[in-house]
Structure 1
Amino acid sequence: MNNCIKAFYLIVFVFTSFTLQAKETFAVIVGVSEYPTLEKNLSLVGPKYDALRVRDMLLQQGVQPQNIQLLADGVEKATLPTKVNIVNAMKSLTERVKAGDFVYLHFSGHGSQQPAMQGSDLSDGLDEIFLPRDIGAWSAQIGLIENSLTDNEMNVILTEIRNTGANVWAVFDSCHSGTMTRSVTGKKVVSRNVRPKLLGVENDTVNVVTRSTLKEVTLDTENAGFLIAFSGAQSNEEAPEMELPSANGDLPQGLFTYTLTSLIGQNPNLSYRQLAQGILSAYNSLPWHKTTPLFEGGEALDKPIFDREVSVNLRYPVTKNRNKYQIQAGLLNGLENGAIVEVYDSVTASERSALIEITKAQVASSEGKLIEGEITNKSSFSQLLRPALPSPLTIKWQVNPEPVWLDALDLLLKQSELLKRTVTWVESDQAADVSLYVSDDLLYFFSVENELLPCALSKSATQCHDQEKYLASEYQITDKNSIYSVLENGISRFVRARNLMRLSLTMAGKASINTEVELNGQAVTLDKPISAQDGDELYVGFINNERNPVDLTVFFVDSGLGIYQVYPEPGYSGRLFTGQSAEFEGIVNGSTTGEEQFVVISVPTSRESPPMTLSHLQQEPMQSLSFLKKQRKKEAMGSLIFSRNH
């Protein structure tokens, strides 16, 4: 679990009361200032003020006092933030929350690192930890720092909460770099970090199987709530505290907590992404460039904060480079060549200042020309006004199924925003990129990659193959909406992978990143799919030769259309500044053999823009199965009358 940072934003701390729309909201606030077991100079002052500031913000946003658990030392009537108390407070939520509820978690205090377990795949060989008040010393016997709250333990508890169906927003304000420096204001800055050596850590690795005191929990992917994680900085950066304005004068506070709560006080009707953009803009206005906050959550980042039932507009950063306008959004966001976007001076502005027409759309970024108004700010924000029509993926039924499937498809194509702009459905006798066939408990996908259809469906006895493997999704009809869900899940997964691969091949060679790829020591290119077998060794290296920073994301799409983000690793930003490089290597396993494709997404950006997050595109692979022609009996289908309300 990621920790770190804080930033400086001098604004008046005025909160607007707002009634939350989630079924019920719960919060656990942790502020650890005092560390009696450590040397006196390692204690902090700011976390207790962070905790009070966050509590006041939550109360002003409508959270009921009885739903807020405050664990902070130096705060009257608050529970002491020991390891046991922190774990118990979070685990108690699993008994209180229900599907649709909202949980806010906030941690301020020292962070540190301990050696990763032997066999860990962490690139830096270190696990991240949060230090409760009763933190102990390193124990080589059990392979951990006693009473530390590890990222693995945090993951278990978060999974338990999410499995109730509740949505979670976790904010971490601690770090892992022990320095003392001076801020731009001349005030003393204290790093919220304790170096591992001060905790007695000497070894680089630990020969233990697990160090968590909590039993592993599997995420219920069908019913789990979403997780939003805000971290002050990357795993190797610092999180300072300094004296900042409050109702009681200047007090030591964490920069990240201060900025986050101040922006929410200014405008509570933000999305998580807009809040993240505001935090980055605040850092840049200082300027404060020592840290790069991380904001994770995939598609959920575009939801309103606190799960409110209000509409928020998706806005993307715009920067001017010479006479060109660069937008941190592209084909994946519906910005094709010819699309028109509105430009706003800030992420929350109501009046547009200009219009831009997209002239060069790439996978996750685009360029445009000014067609109306003027842009005076160095950094502005764009919002899609009128999309252009992309080249769609054509899909058809290989053989028309029962009417209930046709009704479900008709409704899906009307309601799905993704499929509206990415799919064209054609008749069964027309050529198509993909065709679907409904069999007993399986929905088959025949694509252009499958050279021959099953003989049972082919019109030619010689142009068919019964040994071919085809992609398929299992289904089980349990109610009138299950067919809709089967189609929505299967087609959306297929479309995401196919479009990602097609866009990648279209943009091959046009990125600002130099790429080196080797398969079993032999150089290969990314302008066509890579044919890999079980046990093959893959190496990929990158270097940024541009003058500006770029956000780099690398996906691996396997032959089952599984999408895996291989760079950056969780907890790290993929931002590469001029001359910086990155590399990774791995071995192909048996479940991903066949036509594989690396998708390299390089997005020109600026220091003040939030890091690009595309992890929501990941998905599990489909099954690869032989064809069995078995139709469901009509009487089993006839009892289902399809309807779906949204």
Structure 2
Amino acid sequence: MAVRHFSLVCCWWVVFLPAVFLPATPLSAAEPAAKHALLIGCTDYPRLDDFFQLEGPVNDVALMRQVLIESYGFTAESGRMVTLAASEDAMHQPTRANIQREFESLARRVQAGDEVLILMGGHGSQQPDNDPENPMDAEPDGLDEVFLPCDVGPWDGKAGMIENAIVDDQLRQWLSALVAKQASVCIIMDACHSGSGVRGSDAERSRQVPPGQLVPKALLDSVRESSSEDDASDSLFDGPGDLVAIYAAQPHETTPEKKLPLTADPDARKYYGLLSFTLCDLLSNTNRKLTYNELIQEVQSRYVAMGRRSPTPLIEGSNRDRIVMGKESFPERSRIRLSIQSDDEGTINSGALQGVTKGSIYRITAPLDDAGRSNKDTSGFVQVTEVDMTSATVVPVAYDESPKVSLADVQQRSVCELVFRDLGDRRLGVAVDSFDDSGTAIAESLHQRLTQLASELDSELVEVVTDPQDAQWLIRYNEGEVRLVPGAGIATGDESSVFVSHGVRSDWPELMREDLRRIARATNLLRLTGDNAETDRGGLIGLSIKTFDEENNEIQWQSAGRVLKEGQQIKVRLQHFGRENVDVTLLYVDNAYGITCLYPNPGESNRLRTGDSQSIRLRINAETVGLESLVAIVVKSDGQPVDYSVLEQPSLERASAELSRDVNRGGVGLFETPLGRLCKTSLYGVGASRGVTREAEQNYRVSVMSWKIEP
């Protein structure tokens, strides 16, 4: 458990909305609340350098539009769905004038009770505060945050601002007009303004233009010298009205766009904003109602499962506990259908966005009849060979003692049901970087030497790859040191994420081998939390994890995430609300990738019956620094209590020895269960388990809760 040290580089957009509402026309019984969306994606910046051109925002807009229409009842009719993105139509380019026109048009159309969703994807930046004396617009660092439309220009000295930039003050006015009409508004800002840190791989592009690229350096230096951040407000949104603001990152962090989804074939991936894609993924796959606060916590959990340490999404607003877009009920998901292309190949109407993975196997049953019923008789099985965003290619396969069939004998539009989920290669990808922290190329001879030494790192848990864009971690030479750096980079204040071996010497791989093994084990444990996150267990397994302070107040997710203090005593409470008895293991993953068992203690039963609760008390200390996580492994009870506390052991040999000493800790057969085999492969690199059957998946759940610790 750790303390995380960082300083805020700037204050995010503080949105103060007027307390007095304008008159609004009440809804009649015949007029249900309407849904409106304004989706803005700034991809091309003709007046900025090539380095600052983006690819993702136009894809964010298209994906969000699809999710809103298919899953949330939005419609493109009557001008209620407006998109401003790369377009041949000048009226729909994301210019400042067009953005302002659509905000003002939206304010005229909305009525009380309407749902409004706004997405703004593109670059952010900063400029000197143009109204420093206004107490309602305090900028302690002396800088306004700005969003950059596609026609942004250079610094305009006469106007005292970046040409065409949208300042936070202006956005505040546009939002005020919507909230004043008593509409329920959610704005998503997939941009960042001032974050910094250690560079990651070129697979990710930051959605930020540093202020120095647009504002004269002398002016920025003058503003910074005369300002103080000591008086920075803790609140990033503090206005009345029904508005929720979601930001891609904390003030000291950057937010990326990258090629996603990772489960799709490389050629099928496109650039998306990390926040926009993750939100769309969650919104299109959830089968339960979520509040906005819960949604952002789910986003953070997805990031952790991806092995990311940053960014931490930020949420503000007076009504964060409102149900996302007012959706209270979720009908049964559409069936997966098979379209036959030939005797030995077909496609299904689900892809990476719906959780389909290459290698997964589906059972084929007859098409639905006129009454919507399906004949459950199995016609055969197909396996996924290629995955696109919303579709996948499948081929017949023998499975479960059933022979391979010809699709010529299968009906078009047959129903496909998942029976085996392939979770892919569990090894940690590592590559030698050709550049140092500043982006300067290292000498070719040095790169060759590092590559030669790195080849010794290949193991059952680590794969040395050629392209840094395919790596989760980078081996980087910087100022005489060989370093291990996360491929996603490091936010300011989290420099402890760098693992250092001094000098380029022959024993360098040996120094890093154990670091990589520890990183791989913890990363794969966290990855398990995302592998079965969307499994519907019909209420059989249900575990609530909550944290409380010394006064027994629940520690809630705040703007900066869930934050704990050094020396603080907390209580973690496990509450079982499912219909079946379960065995629970609680593991702690610290920022140095250590794994420690918190529950159960040796010899303690970890079985919880329906309604049971268990509390664990912790004191936060500063042994490690950064983002840390609780991982709960919940297994449906069957026979003797089973716990996975042995996963804290660094090797399979030590874990097996621990098991053999105490049958109540899972016994020697623990690693022979479906989840146990998956853990054995993921954390120890032993065995060939790449996935789990759908039936076995119903019997366990792996979930995560993360927090940051401050001094």
TM-score by length of 2: 0.42
TM-score by length of 1: 0.46
